[in-house]
């Protein structure tokens, strides 16, 4: 291999380290648009798709809360909902900002329903498009039943258990009336938690909220009339509102801590594979060690 080729390979493999060092250099907190120059940026957190975990979102919120250069956060939600516990955990993380000097504003995308709305309700202000689908304050559990199919094809499921209700959600037998009531009590309690948290966050009377918190969905325009959202507007309008609220000015950066490193890493990997695939295959262990600096 020629010396020139070795130099090119070395530069490609070392570039992530250089980029990582540049990204880690703290920026000055001076900002003439804000009295005292303490803040100058806004944070962006995106919740997209089904909500099955909370760690990633909570970690981003904590990083933005601890970053003294961040004046406020815009939370972009485009989700049909998901698991209860992660939605509750993110809701509580957003509620913690109520006692801080960093406002959290929600911008709803196409859908911000069920767990997506659960989280949104904790924000200081909610923006939705007129056609956004939101609401769906309810809880659902679906258990498939295969016993008739199994019997037809000659399959018998033998269950061994310790605990009378351990196979309560079995797909190979029908539930007893007592088991059905137990599941219903569980869902009712979860639903009550959902209603209580939304009522608290939105300052809506719980009994009033319960009259339409029955799983139905609303358009953004309908949700505004019910008090579930505050403003009809786009992401850009929500961002403009947050800029004015925090006083950072129209030129303030919007920082997404999760996407910054991932975008650079993915770009580097894809470009290296396209430009020099053979070298990437040969030096991939070293390449991955370098890329880890950007994580």
Query: Residue 248 in contact with residue 236, Cβ under 8 Å?
Result: no
| Mean pLDDT, rounded, for 260-267 | 47
pLDDT interval class at 224 (50, 70, 90): very high
Angle, helix 257-275 to helix 3-24, in steps of 10 degrees:
170
Query: Over the stretch 68-78, which tens digit does the pLDDT of each residue have?
Result: 999 999 999 99
Could you tell me which of 142, 99, 149, 144 has the C-alpha nearest to residue 122? Answer: 99
For residue 129, give the nearest of 51, 222, 226 by alpha carbon.
222
H/E element, 148 = helix 147-152
pTM equals 0.75
* Closest-CA residue to 124 (of 205, 253, 241): 241
| 113 has a pLDDT exceeding 80 | yes
Question: Worst-scoring range by mean pLDDT, 30-39, 65-74, 183-192?
Answer: 30-39
Contact 108, 134 (CB under 8 A): yes
User: Which one of 213, 235, 262 terminates a domain?
Assistant: 213
Distance, in Å, from the CA atom of 230 to the CA atom of 37, rounded to the nearest integer, reads: 30
Chain-centroid distance of CA 220 in Å reads 20
Instruction: Give yes or no: residues 151 and 98 share one domain.
Output: no
Q: Assess whether 97 and 235 both reside in one domain.
A: yes
Length of the chain, in residues: 295
| CA-derived radius of gyration, the chain | 25
Mean pLDDT, residues 240-249: 94
Residue 145 and residue 196 in one domain:
yes
Range of the domain at 69: 3-137+214-294
In the set 161, 166, 225, 281, the catalytic residue is 166
Number of structural domains (the chain) is 2
pLDDT of the residue at 27: 45
Is 143 in the same domain as 198? yes
Average pLDDT on 224-231 reads 98
Query: In Å, how far are 33, 67, 103, 142 from 251, measured between CA atoms?
Result: 9, 19, 18, 48
27-31, 40-44, 144-148 — which is least confidently predicted?
A: 27-31
Q: Are residues 101 and 222 in the same domain?
A: yes
CA terminus-to-terminus distance, the chain: 31
Candidate list 69, 87, 114, 136, residue with the active-site label = 114
- Residues 233, 108, single domain; the answer is yes
Per-residue confidence (pLDDT) for residue 257, from 0 to 100 = 74
Q: Which of 146, 180, 213 is the last residue in one of the domains? A: 213
In tens, the pLDDT along 156-180 reads 888 999 999 899 989 988 999 999 9
CATH number for the domain including 267? Answer: 3.90.226.10
What's the rounded mean pLDDT across residues 20-29? 50
User: Are 60 and 257 a contacting pair, CB within 8 Å?
Assistant: yes
For the cut 80, the answer to whether the pLDDT of residue 112 exceeds it is yes
Are 125 and 147 in a shared domain? no
Q: Are residues 282 and 158 in the same domain?
A: no
Q: Are residues 60 and 190 in the same domain?
A: no
| DSSP-assigned beta bridge partners for residue 113 | 135
As a whole-number percent, the residues of the chain with pLDDT over 70 amount to: 74
More confident residue, 18 or 122: 122
State yes or no: is 40 an active-site residue.
no
- 8 Å CB contact between 217 and 135: yes
Among 148, 180, 213, where does a domain finish?
A: 213
Residue 287: pLDDT band (50, 70, 90) is: very low
Distance between CA atoms of residues 202 and 196, nearest Å: 10
Half-sphere exposure of residue 238: CA atoms within 13 angstroms, side-chain side: 31
Q: Are residues 219 and 202 in the same domain?
A: no
Residue 267 has a pLDDT of 52
Q: Is 274 a known active-site residue? A: no
Mean pLDDT, the chain, as a whole number? 83
pLDDT tens, 79-110?
999 999 999 999 999 999 999 999 999 999 99
């Amino acid at each position: 291999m020629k010396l020139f080729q070795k130099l090119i390979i070395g530069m490609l493999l070392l570039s992530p380290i250089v980029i990582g060092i540049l990204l880690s250099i703290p920026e000055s907190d001076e900002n003439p648009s804000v009295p005292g120059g303490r803040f100058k940026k806004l944070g962006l957190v995106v919740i997209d798709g089904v909500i099955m975990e909370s760690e990633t979102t909570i970690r981003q919120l904590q990083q933005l809360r601890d970053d003294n250069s961040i004046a406020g956060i815009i939370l972009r939600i485009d989700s049909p909902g998901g698991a209860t516990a992660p939605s509750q955990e993110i809701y509580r993380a957003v509620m913690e900002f109520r006692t801080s000097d960093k406002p959290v504003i929600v911008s709803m995308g196409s859908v911000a329903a069920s767990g997506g709305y659960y989280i949104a309700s904790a924000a200081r202000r909610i923006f939705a498009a007129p056609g956004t689908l939101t609401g769906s304050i309810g809880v659902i559990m679906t258990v498939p039943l295969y016993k008739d199919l199994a019997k037809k094809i000659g399959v018998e499921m033998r269950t061994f258990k310790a605990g009378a209700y351990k196979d309560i959600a079995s797909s190979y037998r029908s539930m007893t009336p007592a088991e059905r009531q137990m599941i219903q009590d569980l869902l009712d309690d979860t639903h009550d938690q959902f209603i209580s948290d939304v009522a608290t966050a939105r300052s809506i009377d719980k009994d009033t909220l319960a009259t339409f918190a029955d799983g139905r969905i609303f358009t953004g325009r309908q949700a505004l009339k019910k008090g579930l959202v505050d403003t009809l507007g786009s992401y850009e309008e929500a961002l403009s509102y947050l800029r004015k609220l925090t006083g950072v000015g129209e030129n303030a950066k919007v920082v997404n801590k999760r996407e910054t490193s991932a975008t650079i890493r993915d770009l580097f990997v894809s470009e290296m594979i396209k430009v020099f695939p053979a070298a990437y295959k040969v030096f991939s262990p070293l390449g991955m060690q370098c890329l880890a600096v950007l994580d």
